Chain A
Amino acid sequence: MDLSTTYLGMHLPHPLIAGAGPLGDELDTVRRLEDAGAAMLVLRSLYEEEITGEQMDTFLHVESYGESFAEASSFEPEPELALGPDEYLEHLRRVKHAVQIPIMASLNGVTLGGWLAYAKLLEQAGADGLELHVYHAASDITMSAAEVEQQFVEIVREVKRTVRIPIAVKLAPLQTAFAHFARQLDNAGADGLVLFTRFHRADIDVEELEIVRSLPLSDSSELPMRLRGAAIVSGRIKASIGITGGVHTGLDVIKATMAGAHGTQMVSALLRHGPDYLRAVRADIEAWMIEHDWGSLNEMRGNMSLGKIPDPAAYERANFRMALR
């Protein structure tokens, strides 16, 4: 049974990847994931905005109390390490040291300078690849989709120039012209596209008139949207395709592969069931393939993509075909 895949130019024994999130926070969990056979691990994102925000907040709130008063020139000990990417980089180094599997770092930048500087630092700290977690709040009423896309394409192009390790671009599900955008990213040199980011939910507390944010664990119902995205670009771009969000079972992995995915990331399922669950998923995949007489995943990869299915409208007009009948 051949489950192997090539993802971001890396040959992996199978497509099961521990995705970005808390899974990579503890070395113990990372080791257990490797033991359970994870093909790759993606660390949670390094957020430039969070880092610079915390730096500036601390600077403004801690420094402003310093050198103000005769009895104390400061009110805290001198920090040994700057607030910044050091924590993340150190953790990345430790994770790399602890396991043999490829480790992807994830990055969410704000400024082009930030994207490039942090990408370089992550590469230097030993990341085997980078997931660029591009996200735009789309709340700026003066900014067009084309401008947003152009910015991201530029970031990808520049990051590619800056680092040698492969980069994947993790996209939000809401894109005006997804296929076109995917091609632009592909042309800019992205080694992979990861479909799609899961957003925090911003709910409304109607009593307190406040926004309540949450990020509940996913389930398989979130997968179809990703299948559709993969199917649309599969075979039409050079970049690898990764799926994240809603991959919970062996069958989910089969579906993702049929849609064209080279890598399938799992987070919620592993948080819910523990790292060993990877073994069960892999066993399920193999059992299903034996049962259905598939020799390798490569054979089935993309067989349900837009270009290969008899009725592409099933993807293209997914939501209102029923109504048209």
Chain B
Amino acid sequence: MASGSRMTVDGNEAAASVAYRASETIAIYPITPSSPMAEVCDEWASRKRTNLWNAIPEVAEMQSEAGAAGAVHGALQAGSMSTTFTASQGLLLMIPNMYKIAGELTPFVMHVAARTLASHALSIFGDHQDVMACRQTGFALLCANSVQEAHDMAAVAHAATLESRIPFLHFFDGFRTSHEVAKIESLSDDDLRALIAEAGVFAHRQRGLTPDKPVIRGTAQNPDVFFQAREACNPFYDACPDIVARAMDAFAARTGRRYGLFEYSGDPAADRVIVLMGSGAETVHETVDYMTARGEKVSVLKVRLYRPFARAAFLAALPKTVRSLAVLDRTKEPGAPGDPLYLDVTTAIAEAQAEGVLPFKTPPRIIPGRYGLSSKEFTPAMVKAVFDEIAKDKPKRHFTVGIIDDVTHLSIPWDPSFKTEADDVSASVFYGLGADGTVGANKNTIKIVGQETDLYAQGYFVYDSKKSGAITISHLRTSKKPIRSAYLVDRASFVACHQFEFIDKIDVLEHAAPGAAFLLNAPLPADQVWDHLPKEMQEQIIERKIRFFAIDAYDLAKRAGMGTRINTIMQTCFFAIAGVLPRDEAIGHIKKSIEKSYGKRGPEVVRRNWEVVDQALAHLHEIPVPGSVSASRLRPPLVSEKAPDFVQKVTAVILAGKGDLLPVSAFTVDGTWPVGTAKWEKRNIALEIPVWDSKICIQCNQCALVCPHAAIRAKVYDESSLSGAPSAFKTTPYKGNDHKGKHFTIQVAPEDCTGCNLCVNVCPAKDRTNPKHKAIDMHPQAPLRDAERVNYDFFLNIPEINRTEMTRFDHKSSQFLEPLFEYSGACAGCGETPYLKMLTQLFGDRLLMANATGCSSIYGGNLPTTPYTTNRDGRGPAWSNSLFEDNAEFGFGFRLALDAHVGASHGLVTALASQIGEGLVEALLTADQSNEGGIAAQRDRVAALRQKLSAINTPEARRLETLADYLVKKSVWLIGGDGWAYDIGYGGLDHVLANRRDVNILVMDTEVYSNTGGQQSKATPLGAAAKFAAAGKPVGKKDLGLLANMYGHVYVARIAFGAKMAQTAQAFLEAESYPGPSLIIAYSHCIAHGYDMANGAKQQKLAVDSGVWPLYRFDPRRALKGEPPLHLDYGPPKVKVEEYLRNESRFRMIERADPARYKAFLAESQAAAERRYAVYEQLAGIKVPMIQAKEAEGKDAQAKADVMET
């Protein structure tokens, strides 16, 4: 890399670029928002990019951040230059090793994209909570405030650590910096070599453990010496700040970019100063520039080296004139006398005062404030508010800024109209869908502007939390000067809305500046577009004199065979309208960027994109704006007026993108939220939805079973329920014997369907005279929406089937049970959610769910709306997410509590037997709750018990009232993905299996870390390309099921609903009924496998038919009957493994990159499939001693008793 050359990258890549080159060993583990640093390092290593010493760093993914920290600790001890990347909970898991690494004075740099810690809720966004949790470890903490600084401070950290021997935690704000794309000056290899002293590397290597010169570290010390030995490191901490300052000086000499331990900017004689660190400091800097230009005596002090805290340098950096010092922390320490930076500043000033070395005439007032938790916006208006506040005689102490706190009234108000952006800044906002490629094109736009002009460019991207139909908002700025604005665009000269339906959902012109240009993708002839706008939008356009442009990009894309990919069309229009570059030049650059971005997908992809770019401008129209509003139509309300109060007052506000305006009082104090809110968010994201033909339908219910979003449902009901049915409502007599005489309907939820096609693909019922017509076909949604909405409402109000009248529970009949998991934000065609939906259908009204962090916790619990809901009795799954690594233990805790509650309630019932009545007591304590009838009967008994208790006036009766519901059987499920079960949570999962407690574990195995972007796990199969295994995973999948089988007492099943639905249902029922630990490993197709999810079920069948994915159930109860506990539900492989592999790009990628390697993988996978079947077949035939029926009964009882005891 040439010195002084420019590159357009995000903060993660900026930091990783230095870290990679300065390291010999890198241990990684995915966590948002730091994963991209690990990903690029792995990618560079796989492409054989070398480090500063012309070697390719050894990159290893570990099973957790704790593992990564252990690995780097070892690598450091063995004398290598090592690094790692992490954030948030991952950083917490590294803390034990951080103490060790620091205690051993080990040169080391870790790079952290600082992120919120999970407390009342998880948040993937940025603040300093994680970093602040490490300030006691002995690491130096060095902060970068921007993308450029993430590059530069990485270099300073790698240089300073070698000389100081203090390990460095280099951090920058998660998302705001880690994911901001900006043009920066890059550091060449020679720059880095000049800064990172070879002598330091040698010295580090010399200290490395080697049997050629052995020493011992990690001793255990006693009270006599530990204390003194711990103090021995002090001189190194004392020396560290000067070393960092020297490294910064050397850096400045080499690059011209000057940094300090503390950097002051503003009026040299300022009386008001804000002290802070991170990206917010740049916003303060921008505001200070604006205010000082207007004569205000304000300034900012940016904290660069936070630990070791250099008091002298801090005091020296402040002007003697300072009167009020606002110390802003981007973290929260409830119960502390103040947040950490404030305490440090206070201590520094107090100590200096005590020592008489304070450089001020009068000690300044120190006013603490908190801002920006979880990437909360921090704008110049808020900075101004802080300066105004600290100018007051009695400023609010421990204030918050950026929120409205109407409970403890800590917040200070700000004036949103205050803006500081310079006139030469050109800002644009783009509203798009994830699937349409808007963000990708905007990243390319930034790169084009960055590389092809002298302008500075900045891009920041906001996503909603849905995995299907996700809305993206891109914020772009260009300027002749460096851009410090670390906040969203709020005054745009260009606004683009890439999806027409957004105009009814979002106020897309909210931030359009007067005279701005507005580009709308509208599926309409140009002369009709204006009349289709809602009234509010017409008003905005007229009032702000907005220039209005429209294009039917979907039509153009469709005709070019580009599906819904409209990004390059819209990008071309942007350049044409915004005029950043001459049109032809811009088109040339767009084409080049297309080739760069999509060249890897193939020349046809490039050709078609070029084709639409060439045609785009011919389809772009400027729409004449009339002088007055013609529309009478208002933007429709986001949620139905029938929605509950909370949904109206809170959820709807968040849905409208106005969640920032909700005050503290809108929220519960402990993170508790009502369930069943997804039903109020009608997303209408499907272009086509299924239409049912009752005449052809064979009533198999497969469509309902596979639906990932519970958006197509089956119901049987009495004819009488049809009274008042809408005219378009479809019904037909039910054909089965189990509900004779009833009626049957398959009904789509038109506004909740994602249009994934899974239902159509599994539908086995064809029209014999026209086989392309099936009982379920897809048809355009828009014309069907209104009628089907009415039908669906009617359908939902038809009484649910009486569970106690069900004569059988299987895959088909399960679909007559109400799903209590619906309309989640999971991907269209998700392979996980059908399992969860079935789980809630079978046991939802008595379900406790512990959900490991991952996809399922995001679509299961990410605001604004959540999918778990209740039945008409108000019962439904109680769901919670603790962490990623602890989910098995967390769920196990549920079981402990339930067992305690059951034990206590039994004791109380027995103690109160004489008052309750012996008959009821006997029935309550011996109830058979193995079926729905038994459970219903027990619920009735509990109701009777409550009646009795109301008349008993003793403390025991009151206590029993709080426990009575636990007399009804509950079902505990521990759910999560393979990253949890196979890797980070395996220790806990194994421990839970090693107990006899009655918990059920559902592993939705996508064979990668899906949520963080498809990194390999130990579940990734041999030969699959995944992130961190770009060349194909060289070892086979861990057989988690077989490991669990070996315990003997664990119920284990491997299932795949697409291959055998009956077995899936059977496994759920057996696992739940088994009075001990159960483990279900469920094949879950996933977008990370790289094919159209509409074929997910088909691919599952191929996985089973090829022997790649075995189906079996291992039921310890069978052993008691003298039968082999393992029962295979699949036969010998009947299709070649290749038929399965070739459909998925994760395998095809290897085939085309390295055919020989692919063939070797293929041969090994084929052999493994055959070997696996042979092994399982033998295990399934294992003879166990025959136990007489009576004896077996006794043993069964004993087993149950064992379970109760343990």
Which A residues contact B (CB, under 8 angstroms)? 51-52, 54-84, 86-87, 90-91, 209-210
Q: With A77-B1026, A78-B600 known to touch, is A69 a contact of B1155 (CB < 8 Å)? A: no
Q: Which of A51, A52, A63, A77 contacts B437 (CB 8 A)?
A: A63
Q: Is the beta-carbon distance between A58 and B1090 smaller than 8 angstroms?
A: yes
Residue of A at shortest CB range from B462?
A70
Q: With A59-B598, A66-B440, A67-B439 known to touch, is A74 a contact of B564 (CB < 8 Å)? A: no
Residue among B439, B1012, B1013, B1093 with most chain A CB within 10 A: B1013
The stretch among B504-512, B670-678, B1142-1150 that forms the contact with chain A is B1142-1150
Residue of A at shortest CB range from B771?
A209
A114 vs B438: C-alpha distance in the bound complex, in angstroms? 30
Q: Which residues between 1014 and 1056 of chain B lie within 8 Å of chain A, taking CB atoms? A: 1014, 1025-1027, 1029-1030
Q: Which of A67, A74, A84 contacts B602 (CB 8 A)?
A: A84
Q: Is the beta-carbon distance between A51 and B470 smaller than 8 angstroms?
A: no
Q: Is the beta-carbon distance between B175 and A61 smaller than 8 angstroms?
A: no
Q: Is the beta-carbon distance between B472 and A56 smaller than 8 angstroms?
A: no
B1093 proximity list for chain A (CB < 8 A): 61
Contact with A along B1131-1163 (1 / 0, CB 8 A): 000000000000001101101110100000000
Q: Is the beta-carbon distance between B1092 and A61 smaller than 8 angstroms?
A: yes
Please tell me if B785 contacts chain A, counting CB pairs below 8 Å: no
Q: Which residues between 415 and 455 of chain B lie within 8 Å of chain A, taking CB atoms? A: 433-440, 443
Q: Is the beta-carbon distance between B124 and A62 smaller than 8 angstroms?
A: no
Q: Is the beta-carbon distance between B1146 and A70 smaller than 8 angstroms?
A: no
Q: Shortest Cβ distance from A119 into chain B, in angstroms?
A: 15
Q: Is the beta-carbon distance between A55 and B1152 smaller than 8 angstroms?
A: no
A67 vs B1159: C-alpha distance in the bound complex, in angstroms? 32
B443 proximity list for chain A (CB < 8 A): 67
Please tell me if B827 contacts chain A, counting CB pairs below 8 Å: yes
The stretch among B17-25, B286-294, B603-611, B924-932 that forms the contact with chain A is B603-611
Q: Is the beta-carbon distance between A81 and B1152 smaller than 8 angstroms?
A: yes
Q: Is the beta-carbon distance between A76 and B1025 smaller than 8 angstroms?
A: yes
B1091 proximity list for chain A (CB < 8 A): 57, 61
Q: Which of B179, B434, B604, B1146 contacts A55 (CB 8 A)?
A: B604
B565 proximity list for chain A (CB < 8 A): 59-60, 63-64
A86 vs B1092: C-alpha distance in the bound complex, in angstroms? 23
Q: Is the beta-carbon distance between A69 and B1146 smaller than 8 angstroms?
A: no
Q: Shortest Cβ distance from B560 into chain A, in angstroms?
A: 10
Q: Which of A51, A59, A64, A75 contacts B1014 (CB 8 A)?
A: A75
A62 proximity list for chain B (CB < 8 A): 601, 1090, 1145
Please tell me if B1087 contacts chain A, counting CB pairs below 8 Å: yes
A67 proximity list for chain B (CB < 8 A): 434, 437-440, 443, 461, 472
Residue of A at shortest CB range from B179?
A70
A209 vs B1153: C-alpha distance in the bound complex, in angstroms? 38
Q: Is the beta-carbon distance between B470 and A76 smaller than 8 angstroms?
A: no
Besides A59-B605, A73-B36, A76-B1149, 7 other A-B contacts (C-beta < 8 A):
A55-B605, A59-B565, A63-B440, A71-B858, A72-B1011, A76-B1027, A78-B43
B330 proximity list for chain A (CB < 8 A): none
Please tell me if B741 contacts chain A, counting CB pairs below 8 Å: no
B1011 proximity list for chain A (CB < 8 A): 71-72
A82 proximity list for chain B (CB < 8 A): 599-603, 1152
Q: With A76-B1146, A76-B1149, A78-B43 known to touch, is A69 a contact of B604 (CB < 8 Å)? A: no
Please tell me if B917 contacts chain A, counting CB pairs below 8 Å: no
Q: With A74-B1014, A86-B1152 known to touch, is A61 a contact of B1090 (CB < 8 Å)? A: yes
A80 vs B1092: C-alpha distance in the bound complex, in angstroms? 21
Interface size grouping (class) on chain B? 35 or more
Q: Is the beta-carbon distance between A58 and B470 smaller than 8 angstroms?
A: no
Q: Is the beta-carbon distance between A64 and B561 smaller than 8 angstroms?
A: no
Contact with A along B555-573 (1 / 0, CB 8 A): 0000001111100000000
Q: Which of B175, B1087, B1153 contacts A75 (CB 8 A)?
A: B1087
Q: Shortest Cβ distance from B599 into chain A, in angstroms?
A: 6
Q: Is the beta-carbon distance between B434 and A68 smaller than 8 angstroms?
A: yes
Please tell me if B938 contacts chain A, counting CB pairs below 8 Å: no
Q: Which of A64, A87, A209 contacts B1152 (CB 8 A)?
A: A87
Q: Is the beta-carbon distance between A71 and B608 smaller than 8 angstroms?
A: no
Q: Which residues between 530 and 569 of chain B lie within 8 Å of chain A, taking CB atoms? A: 561-565
Q: Is the beta-carbon distance between A71 and B604 smaller than 8 angstroms?
A: no
Q: Is the beta-carbon distance between A72 and B605 smaller than 8 angstroms?
A: no
Q: Is the beta-carbon distance between B603 and A55 smaller than 8 angstroms?
A: yes
A66 proximity list for chain B (CB < 8 A): 434, 437, 440
Residue among B562, B768, B771, B1152 with most chain A CB within 10 A: B1152
Q: Is the beta-carbon distance between A68 and B602 smaller than 8 angstroms?
A: no
Residue of B at shortest CB range from A113?
B607
A61 vs B179: C-alpha distance in the bound complex, in angstroms? 24
Please tell me if B856 contacts chain A, counting CB pairs below 8 Å: no
Q: Is the beta-carbon distance between B1152 and A83 smaller than 8 angstroms?
A: yes
B600 proximity list for chain A (CB < 8 A): 78-82
B602 proximity list for chain A (CB < 8 A): 51-52, 54-56, 58-59, 82-84
Q: Is the beta-carbon distance between B1087 and A65 smaller than 8 angstroms?
A: yes
Q: Shortest Cβ distance from B634 into chain A, in angstroms?
A: 30
Q: Shortest Cβ distance from A288 into chain B, in angstroms?
A: 40
Please tell me if B202 contacts chain A, counting CB pairs below 8 Å: no
B439 proximity list for chain A (CB < 8 A): 67-68, 73
Q: Is the beta-carbon distance between B465 and A70 smaller than 8 angstroms?
A: yes
Q: Which of B467, B561, B1025 contacts A56 (CB 8 A)?
A: B561
Q: Shortest Cβ distance from A117 into chain B, in angstroms?
A: 8
Q: Is the beta-carbon distance between B1010 and A60 smaller than 8 angstroms?
A: no
Q: Is the beta-carbon distance between B1025 and A77 smaller than 8 angstroms?
A: yes
Q: Which of B47, B433, B771, B1012 contacts A72 (CB 8 A)?
A: B1012
Q: Shortest Cβ distance from A196 into chain B, in angstroms?
A: 28
A312 vs B858: C-alpha distance in the bound complex, in angstroms? 78
A54 proximity list for chain B (CB < 8 A): 602, 1148
Q: With A56-B604, A82-B603 known to touch, is A69 a contact of B467 (CB < 8 Å)? A: yes
Residue among B603, B1010, B1092 with most chain A CB within 10 A: B603
Q: Is the beta-carbon distance between A72 and B35 smaller than 8 angstroms?
A: yes
Q: With A87-B1151, A87-B1152 known to touch, is A52 a contact of B1012 (CB < 8 Å)? A: no
A87 proximity list for chain B (CB < 8 A): 1151-1152, 1155
B766 proximity list for chain A (CB < 8 A): 209
A53 vs B39: C-alpha distance in the bound complex, in angstroms? 29
Residue of A at shortest CB range from B1029?
A77
Q: With A64-B563, A68-B467, A81-B1153 known to touch, is A52 a contact of B604 (CB < 8 Å)? A: yes
A55 proximity list for chain B (CB < 8 A): 601-605
Closest 3 CB pairs of A and B: A68-B434, A72-B1013, A55-B602
A209 vs B1027: C-alpha distance in the bound complex, in angstroms? 41
Please tell me if B463 contacts chain A, counting CB pairs below 8 Å: yes
Residue of B at shortest CB range from A210?
B771
A90 vs B1093: C-alpha distance in the bound complex, in angstroms? 31
Please tell me if B1088 contacts chain A, counting CB pairs below 8 Å: yes
A209 proximity list for chain B (CB < 8 A): 766, 768, 771
A90 vs B1090: C-alpha distance in the bound complex, in angstroms? 24
A60 vs B1090: C-alpha distance in the bound complex, in angstroms? 10
Q: Is the beta-carbon distance between A75 and B470 smaller than 8 angstroms?
A: no
B1148 proximity list for chain A (CB < 8 A): 54, 83
A66 vs B1025: C-alpha distance in the bound complex, in angstroms? 17
Q: Shortest Cβ distance from B456 into chain A, in angstroms?
A: 23
B768 proximity list for chain A (CB < 8 A): 209
A144 vs B439: C-alpha distance in the bound complex, in angstroms? 46
A67 vs B33: C-alpha distance in the bound complex, in angstroms? 14
A60 vs B849: C-alpha distance in the bound complex, in angstroms? 35
A90 proximity list for chain B (CB < 8 A): 1155
A57 proximity list for chain B (CB < 8 A): 1091-1092
A55 vs B605: C-alpha distance in the bound complex, in angstroms? 6
Please tell me if B146 contacts chain A, counting CB pairs below 8 Å: no
Contact with A along B603-644 (1 / 0, CB 8 A): 111001000000000000000000000000000000000000
Residue of B at shortest CB range from A61?
B1092
A-B contact pairs, 20 of them (CB 8 A): A52-B602, A56-B602, A59-B605, A61-B1087, A61-B1091, A63-B437, A64-B563, A68-B434, A69-B463, A71-B33, A71-B124, A72-B1014, A75-B1087, A76-B1146, A76-B1149, A78-B1030, A79-B601, A80-B47, A84-B604, A91-B1155
